[in-house]
């Protein structure tokens, strides 16, 4: 059964991407890092610039995109909409400050180094979103998820994620039209926020209806299949509405999170995400040309210096945001909790690369910043952990 | 992120294929038919000849192929190698007779109607393999899985499946080379059986080793991911060794079925198969042009008559095979249990269509036979159920 895409090399790429993702993921966790970092490293190792087992082929990209859509659906499914409203004001302040500082700093530095405005926008945007997955996992491991600090961090990370996806939709629109006209940006913002609001508002009753219809069925795989179909169709709607498919998948997840079958859906979804999401991170890693990371080569140095600068900006911008919280809380801990980037930052970066808005060297610089901020967080959070939480409770597991 | 394949239409196709598969699957089960028939019907309805929501595009075929590889991996995982050896002689006799009669009959009828030899071989081959999935499910629903009849049927269906996959590898080789030389066929048979033997023989210790290595890991999705990677890489090896990827996936499944984590792997695999396997059946259904089924159109009648003839041959050939069993058993029940075709027959048929060995009208005739034999089985088995099993035990659930 040959249909344009050669199935042999595709099987090899898919199989070895999965092997690499699991091996490097396990190694990353062994040294106290999130598995996603290992998956990115696996991509670098398996990609064309080293082993060449995972080519940058159509088939790999298609499955990687399916993977990231399913991943954002899962993140949405684990996002509590009422949580967003409850943590309220301080979380919002932290989230806003944590977007403005890194975006402004990243934009200014990139422009100062002579890159064009579109590139600078992508760089700034890639630094805005805290990784909710990584944050939640680290907080849970430290047993501080239920503290006031933990709740503010989580709330801010959720707001951050939603705003990040809105920024993503705007930025990808700008990249497609190639222009920076405020009217276009404003229209994109209205579309992106509008689509998200409509999708969630319409998705909640639709999701309830869906679960009521398919919930009692005992056809094998009915609930999970219906939920994934729902996510794919909302993702398709997002693309039709000039937003991003992952925004749609996230909205579909948040809508289904409010049904009484949320946990069953999540349970059916996890094994699927476990297989396909790593393919996204491996394919992102595979786009890194390691030769560009060698500081011995003179022409690499500007990008590496940019990466160092972005790391400092990315770190300080989020850390400072923590001090915008109020109440009897350890603000340094909140700031540290906002530092890790991860999925959304990587999505921005690879979107920028695919749309030719980010030159490859700048893409590498952004990856350096995403990696470094994520690497530095777990030990820092351990160090700054608020005293009340020194007797870790058996953590109401998150994520 | 555009990479050659347009992601918007792909999301719509994937999402609506899944919706259609689940709705029609549930309807099929409601009228006492296996869900897979509903999925095929969904494909006919959603495909280009009716609604046009699921196009015959590269992206759809790629994911459908991933789906069928994962499905055969699961079938392998649920196949007990020692069972094959234990049910022994009568099952082997039933299996062999049940391959020879339908193949010979199908080949002879197709040739008699003036089609070329390659087409006749595909038709004959598509009629050989009993659907182990459908058989096991019906036997379990009737509560006769543990009777002597049930065990012979299941054993014969397993042998049948393995031989069917060998025939598949030979036939696809013949289709590729376009020739019918006995030397080529013999070489393909040796390769196919050889690959299967080597894959299972090497796969068993490899699988044990894999489970020992990754089993204790608590990295999320490690066991399932490693198992799927194993299947993909063996499938890749099968293609490299001039066999079919699904043969490799099946061998990988049988090898992992012998590890002590078989049930955990199956548990992690099921939700993935639930999402991707329906895409295969929907894409097969989408290849049916309904206009060819209209008996009012004169030029459709030869194919429809061929379909009727193949149904009779397919039914009688398998039913007669039941009488090759011996011992104190109800032979008519065994024969009826061998009748349903399903996955493997459909794989043959769509392989033949893709390779241009089966003209579209003959493909339709084969589909008619596959559908009809599968539809007729559940009520027939109910009718012929051996008396000893009239008090159904609460069925040790299978598949």
pLDDT for position A197: 82
| Residue A197 distance to chain B (closest CA, Å) | 21
pLDDT for position A292: 80
Please check the confidence at residue A137 and state whether its pLDDT lies above 70: no
Tell me how far apart the alpha carbons of residues A273 and B313 are, in angstroms, rounded to a whole number: 44
Tell me how far apart the alpha carbons of residues B78 and B76 are, in angstroms, rounded to a whole number: 5
pLDDT for position A84: 61
Q: Using CB atoms, which residue from A1, A228, A240 is nearest to B351?
A: A1
Unique residue bearing structure tokens 């920028």? A352
pLDDT for position B8: 87
Tell me how far apart the alpha carbons of residues B45 and B301 are, in angstroms, rounded to a whole number: 22
Note the pLDDT tens digit of each residue in A354-396.
777 888 889 889 988 987 887 777 778 878 887 654 444 444 3
Q: A1 to chain B: which residues are within 8 Å by CB?
A: 61, 65, 350-351, 354-355
Q: A232 to chain B: which residues are within 8 Å by CB?
A: 11, 14-15, 18
Using alpha carbons, select from B252, B247, B64 the residue that is nearest to residue B170. B247
Per-position b or e across B62-99, b if 16+ CB within 10 A of its CB: bbbbbbbbbbbbbbbbbbebeebeebeebbbbbbbbbb
Please check the confidence at residue A318 and state whether its pLDDT lies above 70: yes
Give pLDDT tens digits along chain B (399 positions). 444 578 889 999 999 999 999 999 889 888 876 677 788 889 989 998 889 888 888 888 899 889 988 988 987 887 777 766 666 788 889 999 999 999 999 999 999 988 988 899 889 988 988 876 667 767 776 777 767 788 888 788 877 777 777 777 777 777 777 666 777 677 767 777 788 788 888 999 999 998 888 878 777 788 999 999 999 999 999 888 777 788 789 889 989 998 989 899 999 999 999 999 889 888 878 877 788 888 888 888 888 899 999 999 999 999 999 999 888 888 999 999 899 886 677 777 877 887 778 888 898 899 889 878 877 777 788 788 876 544 444 443 333
CB atoms within 10 A of CB A87: 21
pLDDT for position B180: 63
Q: What is the DSSP string of B313-368?
A: HHHHHHHHHGGG--SSS-HHHHHHHT----HHHHHHHHHHHHTT-S-HHHHHHHHH
Is residue B245 within 8 Å of A7, Cβ to Cβ? yes
- What mean pLDDT do residues A215-221 have? 77
* Residue A279 vs residue A81, higher pLDDT: A279
**Is B268 close to A274, i.e. CB distance below 8 A?**
yes
Range name among A37-41, A253-257, B321-325 with the lowest pLDDT average: A37-41
3-state secondary structure of B257: coil
Pick from A77, A78, A219 the residue to mutate for testing the B interface (most B CBs within 10 Å). Answer: A219
Q: A15 to chain B: which residues are within 8 Å by CB?
A: 229-233, 235-236
**What length is written for chain B?**
399
**Is A275 close to B240, i.e. CB distance below 8 A?**
no
Q: Using CB atoms, which residue from B231, B275, B351 is nearest to A225?
A: B275
Tell me how far apart the alpha carbons of residues A109 and B16 are, in angstroms, rounded to a whole number: 46
3-state secondary structure of B165: helix
| Residue B398 distance to chain A (closest CA, Å) | 13
H helix intervals, A56-147: 58-77, 81-112, 117-126, 132-142
**What length is written for chain A?**
399
Tell me how far apart the alpha carbons of residues B72 and A118 are, in angstroms, rounded to a whole number: 48
The two tokens of residue A170 are 């705007």
pLDDT for position B388: 54
Separation in Å, CA B27 to CA B42, B53, B279: 11, 20, 17
Is residue A318 within 8 Å of A342, Cβ to Cβ? no
- What mean pLDDT do residues A127-145 have? 74
Tell me how far apart the alpha carbons of residues A84 and B388 are, in angstroms, rounded to a whole number: 62
Helices and strands (H and E) in chain A: how many? 15, 0
Q: Using CB atoms, which residue from A8, A19, A222 is nearest to B26?
A: A222
* Residue A137 vs residue B71, higher pLDDT: B71
Tell me how far apart the alpha carbons of residues B55 and B47 are, in angstroms, rounded to a whole number: 6
Tell me how far apart the alpha carbons of residues B250 and B262 are, in angstroms, rounded to a whole number: 14
Q: Does the complex come out with an ipTM higher than 0.85? A: no
Please check the confidence at residue A17 and state whether its pLDDT lies above 70: yes
The two tokens of residue B165 are 């996959």
Pick from B232, B240, B252, B281 the residue to mutate for testing the A interface (most A CBs within 10 Å). Answer: B232
Tell me how far apart the alpha carbons of residues A48 and A94 are, in angstroms, rounded to a whole number: 40
Nearest CA in chain B to A216: B26
Separation in Å, CA B343 to CA A131, A301, B72, B154, B303: 42, 57, 9, 16, 22
pLDDT for position B134: 67
């Amino acid at each position: 059964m040959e249909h344009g895409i050669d199935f042999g090399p595709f099987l090899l790429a898919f199989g070895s991407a999965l092997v690499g993702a699991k091996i490097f993921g396990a190694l990353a966790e062994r040294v106290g890092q999130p598995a996603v970092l290992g998956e990115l490293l696996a991509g670098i190792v398996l990609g064309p610039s080293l082993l060449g087992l995972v080519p940058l082929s159509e088939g790999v990209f298609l499955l990687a995109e399916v993977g990231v859509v399913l991943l954002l659906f899962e993140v949405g499914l684990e996002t509590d909409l009422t949580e967003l409203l409850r943590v309220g004001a301080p979380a919002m302040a932290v989230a806003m400050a944590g977007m403005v500082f890194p975006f402004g700093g990243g934009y200014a530095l990139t422009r100062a180094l002579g890159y064009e405005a579109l590139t600078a926008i992508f760089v700034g945007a890639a630094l805005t979103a805290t990784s909710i997955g990584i944050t939640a996992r680290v907080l849970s491991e430290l047993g501080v998820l239920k503290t006031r600090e933990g709740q503010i961090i989580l709330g801010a990370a959720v707001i951050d994620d939603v705003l990040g996806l809105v920024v993503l939709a705007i930025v990808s629109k700008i990249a497609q039209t190639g222009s920076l006209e405020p009217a276009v940006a404003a229209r994109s913002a209205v579309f992106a926020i509008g689509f998200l609001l409509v999708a969630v508002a319409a998705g909640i009753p639709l999701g309830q209806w869906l679960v009521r219809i398919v919930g009692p069925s005992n056809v094998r795989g009915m609930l999970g299949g219906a939920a994934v179909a729902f996510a794919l169709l909302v993702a398709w709607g997002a693309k039709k509405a000039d937003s991003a498919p992952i925004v749609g998948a996230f909205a579909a997840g948040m809508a289904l999170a409010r049904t009484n079958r949320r946990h069953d859906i999540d349970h059916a979804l996890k094994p699927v995400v476990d297989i396909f999401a790593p393919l996204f991170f491996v394919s992102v890693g595979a786009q890194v040309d390691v030769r560009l990371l060698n500081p011995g080569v003179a022409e690499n140095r500007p990008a590496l210096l940019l990466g160092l600068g972005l790391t400092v900006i990315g770190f300080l911008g989020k850390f400072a945001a923590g001090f915008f919280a109020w109440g009897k809380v350890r603000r340094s801990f909140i700031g540290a909790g906002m530092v890790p980037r991860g999925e959304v930052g990587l999505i921005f970066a690879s979107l920028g690369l695919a749309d030719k808005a980010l030159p490859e060297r700048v893409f590498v610089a952004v990856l350096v910043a995403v990696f470094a901020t994520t690497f530095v967080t777990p030990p820092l959070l351990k160090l700054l952990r608020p005293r009340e939480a020194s007797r870790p409770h058996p953590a109401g597991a998150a994520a």
